[in-house]
């Protein structure tokens, strides 16, 4: 959605505040999968088939690490590792994540501003019947097969919004909550003290885009998670979660039937295509969303 | 020479004590170029054309790091980085270098025992007219163009021989000083307290192989360094350096003329081919050296 908006509005008109709760330390590398997916997408480097990592990638480092008995359950390509090495060295030398991110973005020609939610370490921890797991161990390591009975954000209480985050939220024409998983992608951002309040402050200009279309998640196990955590597994269930933060809810034509129920929550419901099957559709989807909100 | 002897005697009949003064931290990775060259050679993975690194290698990680403004002056391939990631993680978690090295060797099917001279950090520092440089900054970073006016081994005084080193020196049938640079490859091993004395103790069974043939170094800038440090730039100059440590000096037929002068130092001079142009010659060279010493 960041790319869609950046294409529709121009790359420097958008600031993306990105989740760091999915970050992990793997083979001694500081990996920030959400930041990296956004930066690779905006830089035109993303492997669009897989939806993560760099295109034309090789995996010789990880294959060697595996042969030598090192960790190998998380997939890192060689080009990707080049980025992680630069970030890890910078963080170890004391550079904040937000500064490293800005440097990496600039080096890749990305004009959209990317801000991690915070510079501190926050880890999304998922409670399952098999015990608590960090996000990536649950999502990648165990292929999100364990039902989720709770989520918490380790370290969030002691974190502060990264430089620029509160200002961006205060000054933006619109605040848009992307169609991501509310529990494990959006909540870890909102859990950083000050961010939820800053979004709520902008409620009249704030918009959420439904990550559920026709009862199915655009990506990942969100529908199951909504059900498991006691919510309705539909765009309506998501709209309820955001009703105190946004005044507008964008949903796909497939869910037009939900408009009255969503408006009954005190939200304006806007119906516009949001499903991007092909990256080439992104600009069109972005324009549609922008026009619908103007 | 380790590979030549391992081929001639059988891989498990040889223990290699390897220099760690060339080690460096690069992009946050703990790199041990000498250990790695030995392990890659013995595992049959070495890029024989270059003489370092792994064959069929890609360099996508380093190219990415360079694009992102990271360090890129030291060449690391992707497969090589996989090894460095495993080693770096293990060292950070407190595992000694000797143990990591044994694990990596075993994983690659290497039967020859490889021992770092010590588990502690030792750094070969080279004094030049442009100031003091760590070994790799001088050798790779500045392509060893600065004349060497002195060498010291930072950290060596506080180091101890790695487990197995003194026992291997005491129990081996023969102790062989490989045809490497005495100042920056052999001396940093001997500088670890206890090792020089342990070699001297075996002087009657100890042998050095000349790294200089026909006045030229088998590899690297040794001839210039001998001259710069006030020694004769020949096999004789090297023989003088080792006269108190070994009783036998092996030199190439190209230097047979030096035999009487070397024997005048109280050394037995053994003339046998030592120059390995092709890896296929290694076993033959190894056998030749072994037979000459029997």
Contact between A206 and A176 under an 8 Å Cβ cutoff? The reply is yes
Domain final position from A83, A116, A149: A116
Residues of B in contact with A28 (CB under 8 A): 28, 85, 88-89, 92
- Residue B211 in domain: yes
Same domain, A67 and A169: no
A-interface mutation test, from B24, B82, B92, B99, most A Cβ less than 10 A away: B82
CB contact under 8 A, A29 and B65: no
* A12 in contact with B, Cβ within 8 Å: no
| Residues of A whose CB is below 8 A from B85 | 27-29, 61, 65, 70, 81
Q: Across residues B231-244, what is the average pLDDT?
A: 95
Q: Is A85 on the interface with B (CB under 8 A)?
A: yes
Query: Which secondary-structure segment (H or E) carries B154?
Result: strand B150-154
B-chain CB neighbours of A58 within 8 Å are 58, 60, 78
Helix (H) or strand (E) run with residue B31 in it: strand B29-31
Residue at A127 is within a domain? no
**Cβ–Cβ below 8 Å for B107 and A69:** yes
User: Closest Cα partner for A61 from B63, B35, B99?
Assistant: B63
Handedness of CA A33, A38, A41, A45 (dihedral sign): negative
Tell which of A57, A83, A116 closes a domain: A116
CATH code of the domain containing B50: 1.10.8.240
Domain residues for the domain of A265 are 163-292
CB within 8 Å: A61 and B82: yes
d(CA A274, CA A218): 9
Q: Which two tokens stand for residue A287?
A: 């324009």
**Residue B283 forms part of a structural domain:** yes
Same domain, A262 and A177: yes
pLDDT tens, position by position, A232-254:
999 999 999 999 999 999 999 99
Binary contact (A60, B57; C-beta < 8 A): yes
Sign for the pseudo-dihedral over CA of B107, B112, B114, B115: positive
Other CB atoms within 10 Å distance of the CB of residue B139 = 20
Q: Mind telling me how many Å the CA of A29 is from chain B's nearest CA?
A: 8
| Domain assignment of residue B172, yes or no | yes
Rounded-to-integer distance, Cα B189 and Cα B178, Å: 12
Choose the closest CB to A107 out of B28, B67, B80: B67
In a domain, A158, yes or no: no
* Among A residues 91-130, those touching chain B with beta carbons less than 8 Å apart: 92, 103-104, 107-108
* Residues A66 and A182 placed together within one structural domain of the fold: no
Question: In 3-state terms, what secondary structure has residue B142?
Answer: coil
A277 falls in which pLDDT band (50, 70, 90)? confident
Nearest CA in chain B to A62: B82
Residues B109 and B180 in one domain: no
Our count of domains for chain B comes to: 2
Are B176 and B107 found together in one domain? no
| CA–CA separation, B122 and B151 (whole Å) | 13
Domain-terminating residue out of A77, A93, A116: A116
The pTM (predicted TM-score) of the whole model is 0.93
Model confidence at B279, in pLDDT bands (50, 70, 90)? Answer: confident
The chain-wide mean pLDDT, for chain B, equals 95
Inter-chain CB proximity A85 and B108 less than 8 Å = no
B150 in a structural domain: no
Q: Which of B40, B69, B70 to mutate to test the interface with A (most CBs of A within 10 A)?
A: B70
Secondary structure of chain A in HEC code, one letter for each residue: CHHHHHHHHCHHHCEEEECCCCCEEECCEEECHHHHHHHHHHCCCECCCCCCCECCCCCHHHHHHHHCCCCCCCCCCHHHHHHHHHHHHHHHCCCCHHHHHHHHHHHCCCCCEEEECECCCCEEEEEECCEEEEHHHHHHHCCCCCCCCEEEEECHHHCCECCCHHHHHHHCCCEEECCCCHHHHHHHHHCCCCHHHHHHHCHHHEEEECCEECCEECCCCHHHHHHHCCCCCCHHHHHHHHCCCCCEEEECHHHHHHHHHHHCCCCEEEECCCCCCCHHHHHHHHHHHHHHHC
Q: Do B89 and A70 touch (CB under 8 A)?
A: yes
Q: In what order do the strands lie in the sheet with A123-128?
A: A131-134, A123-128, A150-154
Residue A14, pLDDT above cutoff 90: yes
- Phi and psi angles of residue B282, each rounded to the nearest 5 degrees, phi first: -60, -45
Query: For residue A231, how far is the Cα from the chain centroid?
Result: 20
| Side-chain-side CA neighbours of residue B86 (13 Å) | 26
For residues A137, A143, A146, A150, the Cα torsion angle rounded to the nearest 10 degrees is 50
Q: Which positions in chain A touch B81 (Cβ < 8 Å)? A: 61, 64, 78, 81, 85
Q: What is residue B280's predicted lDDT score, i.e. its pLDDT?
A: 78
Residues B80 and B175 in one domain: no
State the nearest Cα–Cα gap between B69 and chain A, in angstroms.
Answer: 7
Query: Which CATH number belongs to the domain containing residue B188 in this structure?
Result: 3.40.50.10680
> How high is the pLDDT of residue B275?
85
Residue B281 carries which DSSP code?
G
A165-194 per-position pLDDT tens digit: 999 999 999 999 999 999 999 999 999 999
Q: What's the CA dihedral at B242, B247, B252, B258 to 10 degrees?
A: 80
Model pLDDT, residue B289: 87
Separation CA B294–CA B287 (nearest Å): 10
CB contact under 8 A, A60 and B58: yes
Q: Give yes or no for A27 touching B (CB within 8 A).
A: yes
Q: Decide if B148 contacts B228 (C-beta within 8 A).
A: yes
CB pair distance less than 8 Å for A85 and B92: no
Tell me, yes or no, whether B108 and B194 share the same domain. no
What pLDDT, on the 0 to 100 scale, is given for residue B189? 98
- Selecting from B68, B70, B83 the residue whose C-beta is nearest the C-beta of A64 gives B83
- Those of residues 62-81 in A touching chain B at CB distance below 8 A are 62-71, 77-81
* Pairwise CB contact (< 8 Å): B77 & A60: yes
pLDDT of residue A125: 97
User: Alpha-carbon torsion B63, B66, B71, B73, what sign?
Assistant: positive
CA pseudo-torsion sign B133, B138, B140, B141: positive
Give this complex's ipTM: 0.91
Whether B172 and B288 share a structural domain: yes
Please report the pLDDT score of residue B206 as a whole number: 97
Does any CB of chain A come closer than 8 Å to the CB of residue B29?
yes
Residue B87 gets which letter from DSSP? H
Same domain, B176 and B111: no
- Tell me, yes or no, whether B144 lies in a domain: no
Q: What is the pLDDT of residues B78-93, one digit of tens each?
A: 999 999 999 999 999 9
- Residue A108: list chain B partners with CB under 8 A: 67-68
Are residue B11 and residue B94 in the same domain, yes or no?
A: yes
Q: Cα(B74)–Cα(B260) distance, rounded to whole angstroms?
A: 43
Which pair of tokens denotes residue B88? 């770096």
Chain A residues touching residue B106 (CB < 8 angstroms): none
DSSP state of B186: I
The H-or-E segment that residue B101 falls in is helix B97-107
Per-residue pLDDT tens digits for B112-151:
999 999 999 999 999 999 999 999 999 999 999 999 999 9
Q: Does residue A124 lie in a domain region?
A: no
| A98 and A167 belong to one structural domain | no
* Residue B26 and residue B89 in one domain: yes
| Rounded average pLDDT over B48-65 | 94
**A47 inside 8 A of chain B by CB:** no
Q: Hey, are the CB atoms on B107 and A82 less than 8 Å from each other?
A: no
């Amino acid at each position: 959605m960041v790319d869609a908006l950046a294409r529709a509005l121009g790359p420097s008109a958008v600031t993306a505040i990105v989740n760091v709760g999915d970050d992990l330390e793997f083979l001694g590398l500081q990996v920030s999968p959400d930041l990296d997916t956004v930066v690779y997408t905006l830089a035109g480097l993303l492997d669009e088939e897989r939806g993560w990592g760099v295109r034309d990638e090789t995996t010789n480092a990880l294959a060697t690490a595996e042969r030598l008995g090192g960790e190998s359950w998380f997939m890192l390509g060689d080009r990707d590792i080049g980025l992680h090495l630069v970030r890890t060295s910078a963080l170890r030398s004391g550079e904040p994540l937000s500064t490293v991110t800005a440097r990496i973005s600039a080096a890749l020609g990305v004009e959209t501003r990317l801000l991690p939610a915070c510079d501190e370490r926050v880890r999304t921890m998922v409670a399952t019947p098999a015990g608590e797991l960090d996000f990536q161990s649950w999502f990648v390591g165990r292929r999100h097969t364990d039902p989720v009975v709770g989520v918490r954000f380790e370290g969030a209480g002691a974190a502060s919004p990264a430089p620029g985050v509160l200002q961006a939220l205060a000054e933006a024409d619109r605040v848009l909550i992307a169609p991501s998983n509310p529990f494990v992608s959006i909540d870890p951002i909102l859990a950083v003290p000050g961010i939820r309040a800053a979004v709520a402050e902008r409620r009249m200009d704030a918009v959420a885009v439904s990550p559920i279309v026709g009862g199915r998640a655009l990506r990942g196990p969100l529908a199951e998670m909504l059900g498991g955590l006691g919510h309705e597994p539909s765009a309506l269930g998501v709209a309820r979660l955001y009703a105190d933060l946004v005044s507008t809810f964008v949903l796909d034509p497939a869910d037009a039937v939900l408009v009255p129920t969503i408006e009954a929550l005190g939200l304006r419901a806007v119906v516009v295509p949001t499903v991007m099957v092909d990256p080439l559709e992104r600009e069109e989807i972005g324009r549609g969303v922008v026009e619908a909100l103007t």
